[in-house]
Amino acid sequence: MCMNGGMFVFELFNWYSASWSILALAVLEFLVIAWFLGLDKYFANIREMKVNVGFTKYYFQITWKIVSPLLMIVLCVLTIWQMAPCSYKDYVFPNYIQILGLAISGLPMVPVVLMFAYYVCTLGFQQAFSTKNWKKA
């Protein structure tokens, strides 16, 4: 980014780096914890760590299962809907650079999706989210 076209490369990374993929990863995190793993297992793990959640458990159940995923999905859709072509001053990047930028923005999701698919395919859905083989420290 220190050469002649460095400002254009910087602007491309800046434009696409923290966009829809970060919101999509947040939605995936909420779905994995709240729906796939299950909040009952999650709170059982917290109780194993000697943390008393108390009545706030119900607040977290509502927000993690319903409110937060819906808000993140709405934000992700609005981000994609309001996405404009990358530009620097009055120069608009060509279409193939826009596609490269979209690929850059999708890169953070690739390892998460690949590892999720790997574990579910090799272990099965129930075993992938089981905690019975966890060892105590």
Average pLDDT estimate for 97-107: 88
Task: Tell me if 34 sits within 8 A of 123, measured CB to CB.
Answer: no
Query: Can you give the pLDDT at residue 7?
Result: 86
For position 23, what pLDDT does the model report?
82
Q: Measured between alpha carbons, how far is 34 from 60 in angstroms, rounded to an integer? A: 10
pLDDT in tens, 69-83: 889 889 888 888 888
Q: What is the pLDDT of residues 118-137, one digit of tens each?
A: 988 998 877 877 767 666 65
pLDDT given at position 124: 85
Query: For 11-23, what is each residue's pLDDT tens digit?
Result: 888 888 877 788 8
Please state, for a pLDDT cut of 90, what percent of the chain lies above it: 7
Tokens standing for residue 89: 């001053």
CA distance 134 to 93: 50
For residue 67, the model assigns a pLDDT of 92
Sign of CA pseudo-dihedral 18, 71, 61, 106? negative
Query: What is the average pLDDT value for the chain, to the nearest integer?
Result: 84
Asked whether the predicted pLDDT for residue 43 surpasses 60, the reply is yes
